[in-house]
Amino acid sequence: MKVAFTPSTLMDFIQYDLDPTYEMKYNFSVERQLAGGVAVTVGYLGNRGVHLWRLSDANNPLPIMVDNRPFVVNGQPRPNATVGAGTVRYSDAQGFYNALQFEAKKRFSHGFQFQTAYTWSRNVDDSTTGVAQTDFTPGTVGNTTQPHNPKADRSRSSLDIGQTFVVNGVWEIPSPVSTGIAGAILHGWQMAGIFSASEGSPFTVYVSGRVAPDQTRQVSFQHPDLDSSRSFDSIVLGSPDGYFDPTAFRMPPPAPAGFAAGSGFRSEEHTSELQSRLHLVCRL
């Protein structure tokens, strides 16, 4: 059967001779036993993912460099003009996780035990998922915002939780009596509780529509420029009336003279994965 291709034909590719995905884990910890049945542990945990899957657009017009930043000329033809847009899955993405962990725990004695743990970590990747859709929006068509520069999307992972603190404990409630029916009823009761606090998940800022006319399948999948003079505390407001300050971002500059109308720059700085404010979760 003969297949006819046209400039509107959508193509779906998988990298030829995919590299095998693998993961490396490493850790080191030191534990110290203290008086009163208390033990303290300090450790490092690392993880690196290699040859992870990345989803990207295919057959997009090639950008050029203007004023030391990527620039897309409006009307630039696709590399293969006989077909249209496409999607390709690569196995060249990477992920990096590093964490410092602290734990203190007391074994059950004298009617009481507790455990507390604190983790400071950073999770960075090129693409959180390159296969399927998730609640964090990666996995959509062309989740690499710059198909010809995959490292432009290396940033905090959608799964990154910077700091986590957890405390739990058990207290054996003393019984006022130890004999008889009342003693049997009141003896052996315990109260347990868990408190946890963690930083929120990162989020990503996009512009509406295309700034650089790269003919990607996903229209609103480009980033604005970030005002480098702004601090995190001044950007994230956390208010019901406005979660972040939109004035901290600006559109890329217009095309210089001599280029076709509608041409545009890529974002100057990758502005995704801003960390949201601390949120608390308490369970009893």
C-alpha–C-alpha distance, residues 192 and 113, integer Å: 10
pLDDT recorded at residue 132: 53
Helix (H, G, I), strand (E, B) or coil at 200: coil
Both tokens of residue 165?
């603190």
Cα gap 28→48, rounded to integer Å: 15
**Biggest alpha carbon–alpha carbon distance for the chain:** 97
> Residues 18, 20, 25, 26: is their CA dihedral positive or negative?
negative
59-108 pLDDT per residue, tens: 888 888 898 888 999 988 888 888 888 888 888 889 999 999 999 999 88
- Residue 268 CA to residue 70 CA, distance in Å, equals 8
Which amino acid type is present at position 267? Answer: S
Residues of the chain with pLDDT under 50: 139, 271-284
pLDDT of residue 276: 39
- What is the residue whose two structure tokens read 């198909």? 147
Token pair, residue 186, equals 């009141």
Question: What does the pLDDT look like over 207-240, one tens digit per residue?
Answer: 887 888 888 877 777 888 888 888 777 887 877 7
Helix (H) or strand (E) holding 234: helix 232-235
3-state secondary structure of 281: strand
Residues 6+ away with beta carbon under 8 Å from 35: none
Q: What is the pLDDT of residue 283?
A: 33
Contact 157, 199 (CB under 8 A): no
- Start-to-end CA distance of the chain, whole Å, equals 66
68 exposure class (CB count in 10 Å sphere: 0-12, 13-18, 19+): exposed
